[in-house]
Amino acid sequence: MASIEVKEVIEHPIKLRVMRLGKPVMFNSKVVTCDSKDLPGTVFNTQLKKDVTALADAETLAAGSFLMVPNVLENLYLGETFLCYIYLKNESSQTVYDIILKAEIDTATSHIPILGPKAFPKLDPYASIDVIVKHEVKEHGSVNKLICQVEYDRKHSFETIFSYRVPKPLDLKTKFYNTVTDEVYLEVQVQNIMSTPISLEKFILESSVGYNVISMNHLLESSDNKSIFGDMDILDVKETRQYMYRLSLDQTAEKNPTRTNNLGKLDILWRSNMGTKGQIQSSPLVRQIPELDDITFSITYLPDMVFCEEQFDFTCSIKNNRNRDMQLVVEVSDEEDSNLAWTMISGIQLRLLPPYATIKTVFSMVALNHGLQVISGIKLKELILNRTYSYNNFGHVFVTQNVS
């Protein structure tokens, strides 16, 4: 992509040039050295030492600080800032009066004024008007234009159009996993589809009201929240990272939070060459809400390990997902071949469960055999509509021998 686009209309005494600016780059010197006992002696080394682009005191490292205005510009990506030098020069020997300069950005859907109209009373021969304009790129596409209009002497005018493309910087893919307890696991794949490596300075999920976010992108065993991606935030060209989040409904919110399908949005900030900054926010992440059963039945407490032939308890939560009262009776029955046996009364009637309410119930069992055992055999009978809900194979306990 050419960095300079010059359009001239010959008849005008003043000429307009437009140049898109990319950040300056640091020139990396070429290193040629040898032993002083080699044929060229010290001459190469002396030349390198004198090189103004070299890094003093470590000349063999090509990491000088000599800045160059880039000849070849990187693409301008969505979320970055469009920076442009507008240079208006009087190339005649006559003073030009009453100049009005105006610039705007024209995209597929909008028309954004970014400069002026700015008035200048006069422009002396060979003098210039220099303006740097900035614009944050919020729309991607191939039809972006910078339109600069110049009026002078109250009767003449011309315009220059500078076109540029705005490709997408990152490829984002999301996947949702809903759990029975109404939690959502969100997996985000982000791929750098720019032509340069970048530093991902910020990558966060801003959740919607009513959701709590737990980021699962840090090492568990580290004290200082070490990222699973290591110390470096660099995302190479075409490299993909995978982030994971757990979202749960905020329990402190009102009794029946409206289950919004908008989980939130991603806020991403990156930098590339010499700190070129880009920032984008994803569109709202929307999940398909799974159709809920009448009742959500889930374990809230269960010991991992129990002793053989000793009784153990576990707690389950029963939630009414319907807008009506429920009158539940808990029945338990021993399955055939099961190594666990119920040690509680079957047929206990629970208190009336109002709409959307939750009730917790304790269950008791005894293990009859060693090993990993499956819990099955709970039935909830709803008396008002006379329905039965069965829960089998919903939990495991590991049974061992009590040696003490």
Stretch that binds another protein, among 63-71, 138-146, 159-167, 350-358 (CB under 8 A): 63-71
Nearest approach in angstroms of CB 254 to another protein is: 42
Report DSSP state, residue 353: B
Tell me: does residue 66 bind another protein (CB under 8 A): yes
- Of 224-243, binders to another protein (CB under 8 A) are 232-234, 236-237
Any idea which residue has 């908008």 for tokens?
262
Report the site for another protein in 245-304 (rule: CB under 8 A): 270-277
What's the rounded Cα separation, in Å, for the pair 103 and 317?
Answer: 64
Identify the CA nearest to 234 among candidates 179, 265, 194. Answer: 194
Integer Cα distance of 368 and 307 in angstroms: 9
Residues in region 195-214 near another protein by CB under 8 A: 195-199, 201
Contacts of 137 (CB under 8 A, 6+ apart): 76, 77, 78, 79, 80, 81, 82, 144, 166
Do 148 and 159 form a contact (C-beta atoms < 8 A)?
yes
Among 100, 114, 131, 366, indicate the residue that binds another protein (CB under 8 A). Answer: 131
Is 6 one of the binding residues for another protein (CB under 8 A)? yes
Q: Pick the binder of another protein from 7, 12, 44, 389 (CB under 8 A).
A: 44
Among 72, 220, 305, 372, which residue sits at the site for another protein (rule: CB under 8 A)? 72
Give 161 or 286: the residue with its C-beta nearer to another protein.
161
Beta carbon nearer to another protein, 47 or 261: 47
Binding of another protein by 11 (CB under 8 A): no
CB of 12 to another protein, least distance (A): 14
Go through 242-265 and write b for each residue having 16 or more CB atoms within 10 A of its CB, e for each that does not.
ebebebbbeeeeeeeeeebeebbb
Is residue 90 within 8 A of residue 96, CB to CB? The reply is yes
Q: Which of 1, 2, 9, 69 binds another protein (CB under 8 A)?
A: 69
Nearest distance from residue 70's CB to another protein, in Å? 8
Q: Which is nearer to another protein, 54 or 263 (CB)?
A: 54
Residue of the chain from 7, 12, 13, 28 that contacts another protein (CB under 8 A): 28
Q: Which two tokens stand for residue 146?
A: 């910078």
Question: How far is residue 283's CA from residue 288's CA, in Å, rounded to a whole number?
Answer: 16
Closest contact distance (angstroms) between CB of 96 and another protein is: 17
Query: Is the separation of the CB atoms in 132 and 86 below 8 Å?
Result: yes
Beta carbon nearer to another protein, 62 or 374: 62
Q: Tell me how crowded residue 123 is: count the other CB atoms within 10 A of its CB.
A: 22
For residue 293, the minimal CB distance to another protein (Å) is: 49
CA distance 85 to 226: 42
